[in-house]
């Protein structure tokens, strides 16, 4: 296939949950396609977004409404299943997908977006304004990997966390 300067090399778009599975399996789950289905994947409000190049989908992220147990009154969304193919790492696709998810969450009333980050992804999320809650945790079925629970406030909560005001007044 011959491309011209007008042909897009990459596109970013909403995708179906099933389209996230091959990359999730390869990058996050040691190739286990059976473990790719995540809670919330098929909820009507869940967003799945991907970056596609001529070879297929090369980066994915999912965002679902999921309240934090430690903060049930605050509207929260969870970023999860984020994976970027090694051939395109460092090109900014992960950052763009997180930004798309943050905007979507904020537009849908979220005050908080949270995620669980593997050690190798901790700095990535930190650079995007997420902060760690504290101790590392393990997850059911993933006891071989420790995760940081990270959060980022959005909307009025983000402004308040920067300037110290109380957005609930």
- pLDDT at site 46: 97
- pLDDT at site 136: 77
- pLDDT at site 7: 60
Q: Give the DSSP letter of residue 7.
A: S
- pLDDT at site 157: 65
Q: Within 13 Å of residue 94, how many CA atoms lie on the same side as its CB?
A: 20
Distances (CA, A) of 14 to 2, 3, 100, 116, 148: 26, 24, 10, 22, 27
Instruction: Determine how β-strand 47-53 pairs with β-strand 56-65.
Output: antiparallel
Cβ pair 76, 65 in contact under 8 A: yes
- pLDDT at site 165: 47
- pLDDT at site 161: 56
- pLDDT at site 156: 73
Domains of the chain: 11-163 (3.40.630.30)
pLDDT along the chain (169 residues), means of 10: 61 96 91 82 96 95 94 93 95 97 97 93 96 80 78 78 46
Cβ pair 40, 146 in contact under 8 A: no
Whole-model pTM? 0.85
Cβ pair 58, 79 in contact under 8 A: no
């Amino acid at each position: 296939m011959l491309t011209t300067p007008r042909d897009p090399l990459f596109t970013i778009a909403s995708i179906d949950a099933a389209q996230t599975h091959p990359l999730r399996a390869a990058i996050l789950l040691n190739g286990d396609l059976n473990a790719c289905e995540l809670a919330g994947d098929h909820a009507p409000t869940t967003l799945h977004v991907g970056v596609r190049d001529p070879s297929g989908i090369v980066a994915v992220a999912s965002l679902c409404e999921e309240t934090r147990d430690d903060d049930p009154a605050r509207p929260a969304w969870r970023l999860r299943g984020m994976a970027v193919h090694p051939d395109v790492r460092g090109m900014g696709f992960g950052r763009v997908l997180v930004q798309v998810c943050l905007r979507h969450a904020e537009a849908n009333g979220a005050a908080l977006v949270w995620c669980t980050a593997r050690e190798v992804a901790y700095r990535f999320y930190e650079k995007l304004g997420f902060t760690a809650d504290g101790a590392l945790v393990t997850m059911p079925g993933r006891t071989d990997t420790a995760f940081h629970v990270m959060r980022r406030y959005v909307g009025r909560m983000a402004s308040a966390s920067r300037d110290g005001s109380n957005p609930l007044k």
